Amino acid sequence: MLSLKKYLTEGLLQFTILLSLIGVRVDVDTYLTSQLPPLREIILGPSSAYTQTQFHNLRNTLDGYGIHPKSIDLDNYFTARRLLNQVRALDRFQVPTTEVNAWLVHRDPEGSVSGSQPSSGLALESSSGLQDVTGPDNGVRESETEQGFSEDLEDLGAVAPPVSGDLTKEDIDLIDILWRQDIDLGAGREIFDYSHRQKEQDVDKELRDGAEQEDTWPGEGAEALARNLLVDGETGESFPAQVPGGEDQTALSLEECLRLLEATCPFGENAEFPADISSITEAVPSESEPPGLQNNLLSPLLTGTESPFDLEQQWQDLMSIMEMQAMEVNTSTSEVLYNAPPGDPLSTNYSLAPNTPINQNVSLHQASLGGCSQDFSLFSPEVESLPVASSSTLLPLVPSNSTSLNSTFGSTNLAGLFFPPQLNGTANDTAGPELPDPLGGLLDEAMLDEISLMDLAIEEGFNPVQASQLEEEFDSDSGLSLDSSHSPSSLSSSEGAVGYSSDSETLDLEEAEGAVGYQPEYSKFCRMSYQDPSQLSCLPYLEHVGHNHTYNMAPSALDSADLPPPSTLKKGSKEKQADFLDKQMSRDEHRARAMKIPFTNDKIINLPVEEFNELLSKYQLSEAQLSLIRDIRRRGKNKMAAQNCRKRKLDTILNLERDVEDLQRDKARLLREKVEFLRSLRQMKQKVQSLYQEVFGRLRDENGRPYSPSQYALQYAGDGSVLLIPRTLADQQARRQERKPKDRRK
DNA sequence: AGGAAGTGTCATGAT
DNA sequence: TGATCATGACACTTC
């Protein structure tokens, strides 16, 4: 059954591929959003499409990372995955996004340091590596975008190669320390809203752990202690014991990102992405930037120094530009997937591909063949031995000068008709209407084909010019790995092993109760962040901070938890904190506490069944307690399973999305090739027509007068011979030949 | 206020 | 047979 479903799913995919290739728009989202129950059944069916058995094989993934779903290492893990995705996305021409992220991350710690006042143009003391990237004067660095999303971006794993190249771990730590110092000084605390909330949760978590579970996770306590030691040792400052936890986690995450990027990114050691910067520069026209400005990438933002208009708008513009660039490079993908309006001004203003007619951009060098070596059998010996028709309507071809005719066509051959040696437009495009045109039908057909092709391309959102550019970019030596097998297939193969395991052997790494195992939306967030900087606030790392689904938590408590004023913190007694923690607890935790369950929910949920039973046997538990414990275990496991399931579902959708992108890319390439072939064919036909004209013009009747093109026409016979026949007969035969292919099509 | 998105939970079937 | 997992469906929370 499973294999059957898998077969159906794969078949469906192949069908989708075929549909895509033949020009039928394939909108995966439509199929996945339940409009079509049978398809949905097949795709989202209970055990087919989303069943990925390797998901349990977490330990084999990501360089041997063994991450428990509830482990705090999952942050690193997802950061690394985001990074990997970004790196992999390089072959999908989304490098500019990576570039921008890199820039922001560079500025992140320092921008945060002085960024206490939003939208102020404070000057920053910039460190060495950062200056190179951002340019000498860019007050925009302190834009609220940067401030507001700095931590988010850092967490995104958007680590720049320049950083990795220039900054050591000590540098990063120093930046982190400086940043923290300013946070302690009260600078721009509100800027780090999410981080702040993260810290709050860390506080709560640690407090709770300390109060209830001190003996349960010694590893975590030691870890927290180590983090504190690290901070204190380097800053010389005494931090609140709870605060550095989350930040160090962030710092570690950044470090991990650096390491990973260095290991994976082909330009990990380079300071810039020349091709991408230039491409972005091209994509951003008419921004009043000095011509000598090195970092054109930032031009839309850099102009903010001279005009204090909405920086966020600029940011969005930049994002839009990059998105449009990615859209154009990815041909119609974006139109299908992102529903970009066709008349989007950005797409026209910042279009990479000039809206030139297709013929001007099609490279013909592939269609050019060398000179023809064989004689043109059509006119060589056969010409002289043309059978003289006895019929009066079939006049013999009487060349006025057979030798000259031979010399004229001797250098040509039949192959030359179809593979012209020169395709530089020497063919006579202006065949006079008075001339017989046995090729007219074919030419018209070719033109129609091309026109229909163009229509198709337009309909499908495929611009062959863009496809051509895409292909050129593919061929270009940009240093990007463009192996298409890199993206979806290998991605899924590697991601297939991504851990959805609830392997309880990793219990040591577990966080306190309520730790969020996965961030199912990580990819989505990464993608969303390209579109709208405000989405950056929804970073997976911080998501669980803003999202509190503790049902019994009063809104007022939530409010106070989100942004507690300093006074509250000072006044906050242990009672209030306990109350807050109490409200933070899940329902099952409350129940467990009410039932006086002698061990943590975490153990209940994650212990292997043997250890779990062993644990139960150690205590004298009532039936109600046992029942609750089993319920807690069931719910906890199911909760993780649901998270896995959603994550898998999202991954599947994203992989399908990427598959469709790749298929559309292939389709664009094939379309481009088709256009090239059509153009080549048309030029060959033009060549034949010019030769026809030349031959016909040299023909003379018995009286030495040229034949009238309106009355006579040359006809190529199947055996290579050429006959001069009356025009009416030629037209009839031409019509007959026209019908044949049409009939064949039917 | 209403919708979208995220999340937890239950029921059910499969392994 | 029990444990576990996967997933659809639903309810709830948050934004």
- Check pLDDT > 60 for residue A386: no
Q: What is the pLDDT of residue A666?
A: 97
Task: Tell me the pLDDT tens digit for each residue of A42-71.
Answer: 333 333 333 333 333 333 333 333 333 333
Q: Measured from the CB, is A523 under 7 Å from any atom of strand B? A: no
CB contact at 8 A, A441 and A737:
yes
Number of H helices, E strands in chain A: 34, 2
Strand B proximal residues, A:628-657, Cβ < 7 Å:
631, 634-636, 638-639, 642-643, 646
Query: Does residue A614 surpass a pLDDT of 90?
Result: no
Q: What gap in Å lies between CA A275 and CA A83, rounded to an integer?
A: 20
Give the CA dihedral A359, A364, A369, A371, nearest 10 degrees.
Answer: 70
Q: CA–C1' distance A445–C7 (Å)?
A: 53
Q: pLDDT value at position A11?
A: 52
Among A725, A707, A728, A727, CA closest to A716: A725
In angstroms, the CA of A211 and the C1' of B12 are apart by 39
Residues 6+ apart with CB under 8 A from A9: A42, A43, A45, A48, A49
Quick one: which of A611, A664, A614, A612 has its CA closest to A633? A612
- State the Cα–Cα distance between residues A353 and A204, nearest whole angstrom: 54
More confident call, A700 vs A124: A700
Angle between helices A311-329 and A274-283 (to 10 degrees): 110
Which of these, A82, A150, A88, lies nearest to A114 by C-alpha position? A150
| Beta bridge mates, A723 | A715
Q: How confident is the model at residue A5 (pLDDT cuts 50, 70, 90)?
A: very low
Length A169 CA → B10 C1' (Å): 48
Instruction: State which residue has its Cα closest to the C1' atom of C2.
Output: A609
Mean pLDDT for A679-696 is 93
Query: What is the residue-wise DSSP string for A238-286?
Result: PPPTTHHHHHHHHHHHHHHHHHHHHHH-TTTT-S--HHHHHHHHHHSTT
pLDDT top residue among A126 and A692: A692
Strand C contact set, beta carbon < 7 A: A 34, 44-47, 49-51, 55-56, 500-502, 546-551, 553, 555, 558, 562, 608-609, 612, 633-634, 637-638, 640-642, 644-645, 648-649
Q: How far, in Å, is the CA of A197 from the C1' of nucleotide C5?
A: 34
Amino acid residing at A183:
I
Question: In b/e form, how buried is each residue of A294-324, taking b as 16+ CB within 10 angstroms?
Answer: ebbbbbbbbbbeeeeeebbebbbbbbbbbbb
Q: Residue A639's pLDDT is what?
A: 92
Separation between the CA of A310 and the C1’ of C14 (whole angstroms): 29
How many C-beta atoms lie closer than 10 Å to residue A471's C-beta? 18
Amino acid (1-letter code) at residue A112? S
CB A75 within 8 A of CB A63: no
The two tokens of residue A627 are 């029942």
**3-state secondary structure (DSSP) of residue A699:** strand
CA distances to A19, A457, A460, A565 from A24, rounded to whole Å, are 5, 11, 8, 57
Between these two residues, A536 and A312, which has the higher pLDDT value? Answer: A312
- End-to-end C-alpha distance for chain A, whole angstroms: 40
The 3-class SS string of A556-588 reads HHHHHHHCCCHHHHHHCCHHHHHHHHHHHCCHH
Is the CB of A56 within 7 Å of strand B? no
CA nearest A130: which of A112, A149, A155, A148? A112
The angle at the Cα of A672, spanning A692 to A363, to the nearest 5 degrees, equals 60
Collapsed DSSP state (helix, strand, coil) of residue A464: helix
* 3-class DSSP state of A146: helix
Average pLDDT of the segment spanning A149-169: 37
Q: Please list the residue range(s) of chain A that carry CATH number 1.10.880.10.
A: 585-650
For residues A746 and A252, what is the distance between their CA atoms, to the nearest angstrom? 65
Q: With a 7 Å cutoff on the CB, does A545 touch strand B?
A: no
- Model's pTM, two decimal places? 0.34
Q: Indicate yes or no: strand B within 7 A of the C-beta of A161.
A: no
State residue A601 phi and psi, 5-degree precision.
-60, -30
The topology (CATH level 3) of A585-650 is: Transcription Factor Skn-1; Chain P (1.10.880)
CA distance linking residue A239 with residue A594, whole number of Å: 35
Written as one string, the DSSP assignment of A57-83 is -GGGSTTT----TTBTHHHHHHHHHHH
Report CA-CA distances (Å) from A46 to A20, A43, A519, A645: 26, 9, 22, 10
Containing A716, the helix (H) or strand (E) segment is strand A712-716
Chain C footprint positions (protein CB, under 7 Å): 3-9, 12-15
State chain A's mean pLDDT as an integer.
Answer: 49
Q: What share of chain A is helix, strand, coil (3-state, %, to 5)?
A: 65, 0, 35
**A673 HSE (CA, 13 A, CB side):** 7
pLDDT, one tens digit per residue, over A224-244 is 333 333 333 333 333 333 333
- pLDDT tens-digit series, residues A578-609: 666 666 677 888 888 888 888 888 889 988 98
> Cβ-count burial of A59 within 10 angstroms (0-12 exposed, 13-18 middle, 19+ buried)?
middle
Quickly count: other Cβ atoms within 10 Å of residue A16's Cβ: 21
pLDDT single digits (tens) A254-276? 444 344 444 443 333 333 333 33
The mean pLDDT value for A413-435 works out to 35
DSSP annotation of A700: B
User: Closest Cα to residue A692, out of A734, A723, A733, A719?
Assistant: A723
Give the relative orientation of helices A440-459 and A727-745 as an angle to the nearest 10 degrees.
Answer: 30
User: How much is the pLDDT for A593?
Assistant: 83
Would the pLDDT of A491 be above 60?
Answer: no
Q: What average pLDDT score do residues A29-47 get? A: 36
pLDDT of residue A18 exceeding 50, the answer is yes
CB-strand contact A438/B, under 7 Å: no
Residue A302 to residue A288: CA distance in whole angstroms: 10
Query: What is the distance between the alpha carbons of residues A408 and A697, in angstroms, rounded to a whole number?
Result: 12
Note every long-range contact of A394-400, with CB atoms under 8 Å and residues 24 or more positions apart, other chains counting. A394/A723, A394/A725, A394/A726, A395/A701, A395/A712, A395/A724, A395/A725, A396/A724, A397/A699, A397/A722, A397/A723, A397/A724, A398/A699, A398/A700, A398/A701, A398/A702, A399/A698, A399/A699, A399/A700, A400/A698, A400/A699, A400/A700, A400/A704
**A498 in Cβ contact with A61 (< 8 Å):** yes
CB A20 within 8 A of CB A336: no
Average pLDDT over residues A131-151: 35
**Distance of alpha carbon A206 from alpha carbon A561, whole angstroms:** 15
